[in-house]
Homo-oligomer: A and B are copies of this chain.
Amino acid sequence: MPDGRVLRGRESRRVVLQRAVDLASADGLEGLSFGRLATDLGVSKSGIQTLFGTKQALQVAVIAAARAAFEEAVVRPAMDEPAGAERLRALVDGWIAYASEPLFPGGCFWAANLPVFDSRPGPVRDALVEQQREWRALLADQVSGPDADLAAFRIDAVLAAANTAFRLDDDGAADTARRAVAGLVQGVS
């Protein structure tokens, strides 16, 4: 039987992480603070600090939570499609929905944070980079031929640029982004 106190701790972590992912998608992982989260959630700062320890541990936990939500929204549904062109389309369509609806208020979590942390070696950068690598490998697995990694690099790059276009509330830029993605996917599938 699970211990009541541990369960409450897990539930608290879940609530804090959900709020922290939303904040970090818009204002960045750097902008996270125990104080800001405590104020937002109406709880004590020391309570949140006890749950996570350091700001860096919080940032790494937030990255894992963002990844889990992304997997659930984009990757898992696409796994129902046959590997190859159909799964690639499902991944890209799912990604466009994830960034444009959007799943997180600031749009793509990695597009917002990787460019900031790419110059800062450490566990936060490592976690972001590892997840980007996994995502590109998943795209490349759906493409046949020796240039699969190049195709995956380009599709991922254009998706990140599309994410910015969606944020700008500029219909022209969003339309160009959608066409740029569609053309690239058509070219490899």
Contact = CB atoms under 8 A, between A and B. Distances in A.
Interface of A: 26-28, 30-31, 105-107, 111-112, 114-116, 118-121, 125, 129, 147, 149-150, 153-154, 156-158, 160-164, 167-169, 176-177, 179-180, 183-184
Nearest to A113: B115
The 9 A-B pairs of least Cβ separation, nearest first, read A157-B161, A118-B167, A157-B157, A157-B158, A106-B119, A153-B180, A26-B119, A118-B164, A115-B115
A132 to B, nearest CB: 8
A157 B155 CA distance: 9
Contacts of A114: 164
A33 B118 CA distance: 21
Contact of A150 (B119, B129, B176): B176
23 contacts: A26-B120, A28-B28, A28-B116, A30-B30, A105-B119, A106-B119, A107-B119, A112-B115, A112-B116, A115-B115, A115-B116, A115-B160, A125-B168, A150-B176, A150-B183, A153-B180, A154-B180, A154-B184, A156-B161, A157-B161, A157-B180, A158-B158, A160-B160
